[in-house]
């Protein structure tokens, strides 16, 4: 059975447009999680100056490249506002299971044994009358990528 | 990450993308599958091939015959290297 998709508005303009369209915006703060991080190593070709990037400790470019920035971790996401809102349909009922298409909350989707942790993009959730209870099983989503 | 999958010699295989966000663990095994290395996705009714069970050459050949081939990869596998595409967008709080 397909789930209803809940959209996310990430600017004040889009949130207000959602309200005018008949949705009830559930406004939340966008809080970057320190757990979510990506690493990068920057390598530069010794002759051409072109750079190449690696996110994997096993790959550092080979003899023709020198590491100009060693592996360093950073938060890889940029959002337009420090707040966002789920656009909640007014006919939603307590207990309804939905798909939050664009998660506002920073939840670790999967972790890699090299230290990277990726943000969960979407998740199923259940409306409890005031908020969405996100239904996420880390063990299921952790390391297997399907696509 | 771009979610693009390449062979060891840098031939492009496909971009990993599942619009239904299915997880491998939730895919039902099926005795009806022609290929025992695959599981059936109930969302789109396509088989999802476990890439750990086949060689790169087989995956490439299958992909060429069926561009909509779905794969499951294990990012913890030693066979998988993760690289970025050069498009770093550092976080800048507003």
How far is it, in rounded angstroms, from Cα A33 to Cα A16? 27
Cross-chain Cβ contact A147/B83 below 8 Å: no
pTM: 0.64
Contact across the interface for A147 and B16, Cβ inside 8 Å: yes
Give the mean model confidence (pLDDT) for residues B2-11.
Answer: 80
| pLDDT level of residue B8 (50, 70, 90 thresholds) | confident
- B 14-43 residues inside an 8 A Cβ radius of A: 14-18, 21-27, 41
Angle at A20 between CA A82 and CA A131, to 5 degrees: 55
Q: What's the token pair of residue B88?
A: 């770093």
Where residue A28 falls among pLDDT bands split at 50, 70, 90? very high
Write out residues 65-94 of B within 8 Å (CB-CB) of A: 70-76, 81-86, 88-94
Q: Which tens digit of pLDDT belongs to each residue from A111-136?
A: 777 888 888 888 889 999 999 999 88
For residue B63, the surrounding DSSP H or E stretch is helix B56-65
Query: Could you say which of B3, B22, B83 has the minimum Cβ distance to residue A55?
Result: B83
- Mean pLDDT computed over A98-106: 92
CA distance A26 to A18: 11
Residues of A in contact with B41 (CB under 8 A): 146
- Residue-wise pLDDT tens digits, A91-101: 999 999 998 98
Nearest CB among A38, A116, A146 relative to B24 is that of A146
Report the candidate in A21, A12, A25, A6 with the shortest Cα–Cα distance to residue A102: A6
Q: Which residues of A94-115 are buried (b: 16+ CB within 10 A; e: fewer)?
A: eebebebeebbbbbbbbbbeee
**Cross-chain residue pair B91–A139, CB shorter than 8 Å:** no
> A-chain residues within 8 Å CB-CB of B85?
53
Q: Is residue A37 a contact partner of residue A116, using CB atoms and an 8 Å limit?
A: yes
């Amino acid at each position: 059975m397909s789930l209803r998709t809940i959209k996310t508005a990430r600017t004040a303009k889009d949130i207000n447009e959602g309200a005018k369209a008949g949705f009830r915006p559930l406004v939340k703060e966008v809080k970057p999680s320190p757990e979510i991080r990506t690493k990068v190593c920057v390598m530069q070709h010794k002759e051409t100056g072109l750079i190449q990037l690696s996110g994997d400790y096993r790959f550092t470019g080979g003899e023709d490249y020198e590491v100009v920035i060693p592996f360093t971790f950073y938060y890889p996401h940029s959002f337009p506002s420090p707040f966002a809102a789920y656009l909640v349909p007014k006919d939603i009922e307590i207990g309804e299971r939905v798909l939050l298409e664009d998660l506002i909350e920073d939840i670790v989707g999967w972790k890699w044994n090299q230290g990277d942790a990726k943000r969960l993009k979407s998740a199923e959730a259940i409306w409890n009358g005031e908020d969405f209870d996100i239904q996420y099983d880390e063990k299921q989503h952790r390391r297997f990528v399907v696509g | 990450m771009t979610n693009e999958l390449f062979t060891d010699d840098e031939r492009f295989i496909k971009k990993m993308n599942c619009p239904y966000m299915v997880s491998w663990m939730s895919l039902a095994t099926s005795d009806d599958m022609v290929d025992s290395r695959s599981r059936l996705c109930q969302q789109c009714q396509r088989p999802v091939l476990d890439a750990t069970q086949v060689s790169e050459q087989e995956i490439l050949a299958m992909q060429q015959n069926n561009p909509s081939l779905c794969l499951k990869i294990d990012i913890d596998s030693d066979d998988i290297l993760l690289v970025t595409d050069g498009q770093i967008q550092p976080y800048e709080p507003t």
